[in-house]
């Protein structure tokens, strides 16, 4: 009997020991697997802002009235900003061939861009008077169109994530990404994976051949279903309450085309900096440039928040009613790649009965890619496009363009008959009217140049 008890205790202890060992091995394996999965999980922009993303997702379930109430509560609340390491303290190695190659490829510091990742918070650069402006919650809907070709991956993601995070969902009908035949691997399957993570209405259209910015935007517009088309470059970051002022202006007048103030994202440090209030203009080369806004134009109760009449737009970022976009002839399909289309559509808006404004309470940051302008293909396209503008819209003043570009008099620019007919059909005013009403400084500039030549 005693031996049976001993055998029983022995086997009970043995069984307990085996089960303990098995349970320890199981939990240890589970822990290792979880850690391994964390390491193997594809890197996502959400790792930089999960809290913000979950707030964004919850926001889609809220009503416009709730958003409007929150904006009223938020406008006087102290703003807390996430602090990012100062990129300017880290030196870019110009002697490193890899660094220089990436700078040449992307046109800005892609190394710092990868450090920032796909989401960040930028400083609110609006005038304080903008905080107290209220906008209707039941406005039109917007289709945001972003065209890209070989864009740096994180810059593109920051463009998309900033729109989703800072745009009320009841305004945002969709985001349309048009890939103009990109060649980089991370803009293929990796991009599609990240866009799926957003779980929002994002359309990705891939061109079968290189079309250029102008025709890619037309492709995006044809896919749009929102009331308003909002065109953005693929290396932007929108700011707080960026879309509401643009939508409010268009809702009030469908023949108004509006642009935000374009803040500067530094090419090397990627620091986000506010821009002063300026208006768009151009010279007799038909090259866009920024012009001064005089202090008397800011008089009145609205002060620095007052919409600014602008002779021209930069072209990369603007909003237009979708029906009006087609009514005034979209873009000139005879233009190549990009360049000149911004001056052409600006002249067409003003001369054919519309209006063009910069809205100071709307702010969008933008990286300028200066290296692209040195491309031979871009230079050729810009000259061709500018010639089309001169022959269709400048009337007798086109000689001023040729005075700046004497060798271009016999350069081919394609068939413009459709655009000439469009101008007649829309009963557009003369370029002399444009100079007298919008931009008399341009004629004065030409007179000064003639005097210098004499």
Q: How far apart are CA 202 and CA 214, in angstroms?
A: 21
* pLDDT at residue 72, as a whole number: 43
User: Between 84 and 320, whose confidence is greater?
Assistant: 320
User: According to the model, what pLDDT value does residue 27 have?
Assistant: 45
* Other C-beta atoms lying within 10 Å of the C-beta of residue 354: 21
Tens digits of residue pLDDT in 357-375: 999 999 999 998 876 556 7
Which alpha helices (DSSP H) does 253-340 contain, by range? 322-327
Alpha carbon distance 401, 446 (integer Å) = 10
Residue 298, burial from CB neighbour count under 10 angstroms (0-12, 13-18, 19+): middle
Check pLDDT > 70 for residue 4: no
Whether the predicted pLDDT of 394 surpasses 80: yes
Of the CA atoms within 13 Å of residue 259, those in its CB half-sphere come to 26
Specify the higher pLDDT residue, 59 or 167: 167
pLDDT digits (tens, 9 = 90+) for 400-453: 999 999 999 999 999 999 999 999 999 999 999 999 999 988 866 554 444 444
pLDDT at residue 88, rounded to an integer: 47
Q: Are 398 and 432 in contact (CB under 8 A)?
A: no
More confident residue, 269 or 93: 269
Q: What is the pLDDT of residue 448?
A: 45
What is the predicted pLDDT for the residue at 93?
63
Rounded CA separation 355/357 (Å):
7
Average pLDDT over residues 181-198: 94
Return the DSSP state at 430: P
pTM here is 0.81
Q: What is the mean pLDDT of residues 33-57?
A: 39
* Listed residue (146, 149, 158) closest to 107, CA to CA: 149
Please write the tens of the pLDDT for every residue from 88-147: 445 666 667 777 888 888 989 999 999 999 999 999 999 999 999 999 887 899 999 999
Cα distance between residue 128 and residue 354, in whole Å: 30
Helices 153-166 and 50-59 sit at what angle, rounded to 10 degrees?
40
pLDDT 10s digits, 149-174: 999 999 999 999 999 999 999 999 99
Question: Is 223 or 34 the better-scoring residue by pLDDT?
Answer: 223
Whether the per-residue pLDDT at 204 is higher than 80: the answer is yes
Alpha-helix residue ranges (DSSP H) falling in 48-106: 50-59, 64-74, 97-106
Which one-letter DSSP state was computed for residue 194? H
Residue whose pair of structure tokens reads 């821009």 in the numeric block? 275
Q: Which domains does the chain have, with CATH numbers?
A: 96-454 (3.90.550.10)
């Amino acid at each position: 009997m005693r031996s049976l008890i001993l055998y029983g205790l022995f086997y009970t202890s043995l069984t307990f020991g085996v089960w303990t060992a098995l349970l320890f091995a199981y939990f240890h394996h589970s822990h290792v697997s979880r850690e391994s999965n964390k390491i193997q999980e594809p890197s996502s922009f959400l790792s930089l802002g999960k809290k913000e993303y979950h707030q964004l997702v919850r926001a889609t379930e809220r009503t416009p009235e709730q958003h409007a109430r929150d904006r009223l509560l938020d406008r006087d609340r102290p703003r807390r900003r996430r602090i990012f390491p100062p990129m300017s303290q880290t030196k870019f190695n110009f002697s490193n061939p890899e660094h220089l190659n990436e700078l040449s490829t992307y046109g800005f510091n892609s190394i710092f861009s990868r450090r920032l990742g796909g989401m960040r918070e930028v400083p609110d650069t609006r005038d304080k008077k903008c905080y107290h402006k209220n906008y209707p919650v039941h406005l039109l809907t917007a289709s945001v169109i972003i065209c890209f070709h070989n864009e740096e991956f994180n810059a593109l993601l920051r463009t998309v994530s900033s729109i989703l995070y800072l745009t009320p969902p009841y305004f945002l009908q969709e985001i349309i990404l048009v890939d103009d035949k990109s060649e980089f691997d991370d803009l293929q399957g990796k991009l599609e994976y990240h866009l799926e993570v957003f779980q929002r209405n994002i359309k990705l259209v891939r061109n079968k051949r290189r079309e250029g910015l102008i025709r890619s935007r037309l492709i995006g517009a044809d896919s749009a279903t929102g009331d308003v088309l909002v065109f953005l470059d693929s290396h932007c970051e929108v700011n707080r309450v960026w879309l509401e002022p643009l939508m409010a202006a268009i809702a009030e007048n469908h023949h108004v085309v509006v642009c935000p103030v374009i803040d500067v994202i530094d090419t090397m440090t990627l620091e986000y900096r506010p821009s002063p209030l300026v208006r768009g203009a151009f010279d007799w080369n038909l090259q866009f440039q920024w012009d001064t806004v005089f202090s008397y134009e800011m008089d009145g109760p609205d002060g620095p928040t007052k919409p600014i009449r602008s002779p021209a737009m930069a072209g990369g970022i603007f909003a237009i009613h979708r029906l009006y976009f087609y009514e005034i002839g979209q873009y000139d399909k005879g233009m190549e790649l990009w360049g000149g289309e911004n001056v052409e559509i600006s002249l067409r808006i003003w001369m054919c009965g519309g209006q063009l404004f910069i809205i100071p309470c709307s702010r969008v940051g933008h990286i300028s890619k200066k290296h692209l302008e040195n491309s031979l293909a871009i230079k050729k396209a810009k000259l061709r496009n500018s010639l089309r503008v001169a022959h269709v819209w400048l009337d007798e003043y086109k000689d001023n363009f040729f005075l700046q570009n004497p060798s271009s008099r016999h350069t081919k620019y394609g068939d413009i008959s459709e655009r000439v007919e469009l101008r007649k059909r829309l009963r557009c005013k003369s370029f002399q009217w444009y100079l007298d009403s919008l931009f008399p400084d341009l004629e004065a500039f030409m007179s000064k140049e003639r005097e210098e030549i004499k």
